[in-house]
Amino acid sequence: MPPCWTLSCEIDLAYPVCEQNDMLRIRVLHGPNLNLLGTREQSIYGTMSLDAMDSAITKLAEELAVKVDLRQSNSESELVTWIQEARTECDGIIINPAAYTHTSVAIRDAIAAVGLPTVEVHLSNIHQREDFRHQSYVAGVPIGQISGFGLTGYLLALRGLQEHRTTSRSQKKTPASATSRRAARGTR
């Protein structure tokens, strides 16, 4: 396939190929029992279903021009596989590992292995709950953890990841930035 600048010179595309390819792709992973949201322990997790949460995340993603790929699994192995596959398919991960937060070295290692910017989300504030929920095996790897804001946590994570990726991309695209940093420090 020719480079996209060649295409856009020759064909009047409604959506430039470059722009489409440049869209951030974020994988959103929901761990075990989150498929039961809406009916599960409503006093802790509220009454919103997972489908309704996914629709709200998708709506914000559209506004931000981010492509989201939303998945839920009750299986640790499936979550690990999806994290691994994200390495070539996505630019970042938002994950609520649910109960695996407190047990899974495998999920932590998968996130570390792919090296993608990741945000850990919890609907409830895990630090206010039972002692066994205070420890997250995952927390040392992601760029941040959001806990206790319900659906809003996912939306904050999406905005945060988009800003993080946009900033790191624009830094990569500005070769002068290292030079100007050195100039500002007065070093060569």
The number of residues making up the chain comes to 188
Annotated active-site residue 45? The verdict is yes
User: For ligand DQA, which is the closer residue by CB, 133 or 164?
Assistant: 133
From the candidates 30, 100, 122, 154, give the one annotated as an active-site residue: 122
User: For ligand DQA, which is the closer residue by CB, 122 or 165?
Assistant: 122
Q: What is the 3-state secondary structure (H, E, C) of 54-87?
A: HHHHHHHHHHHCEEEEEEECCCHHHHHHHHHHHH
User: For ligand DQA, which is the closer residue by CB, 8 or 124?
Assistant: 124
User: For ligand DQA, which is the closer residue by CB, 25 or 133?
Assistant: 133
Question: What is the C-alpha to C-alpha distance for residues 117 and 163, in angstroms, rounded to an integer?
Answer: 11
User: For ligand DQA, which is the closer residue by CB, 24 or 157?
Assistant: 157
From the candidates 45, 102, 137, 164, give the one annotated as an active-site residue: 45
Give me the least distance between CB of 13 and ligand DQA, in Å please. Answer: 41
Residue 98 gets the label, from left (phi > 0), alpha (psi -120 to 50) or beta, of: left
The edge-to-edge listing of strands for the beta sheet with 66-72 is 66-72, 24-30, 92-96, 118-122, 144-147
Which parts of this chain interact with ligand DQA (CB under 6 A)? 33, 96, 98-99, 101, 122-124, 126, 133
Please list, in sequence order, all residues whose beta carbon lies within 8 angstroms of the beta carbon of residue 7, skipping any fewer than 6 positions away.
13, 17
Annotated active-site residue 122? The verdict is yes
Distances from the Cα of 14 to the Cα of 5, 17, 19, angstroms:
14, 9, 11
Give me the least distance between CB of 42 and ligand DQA, in Å please. Answer: 13
Q: Smallest Cα–Cα separation from 151: which of 30, 27, 23?
A: 30
The two structure tokens encoding residue 59: 């709506």
Residues belonging to the active site: 45, 122
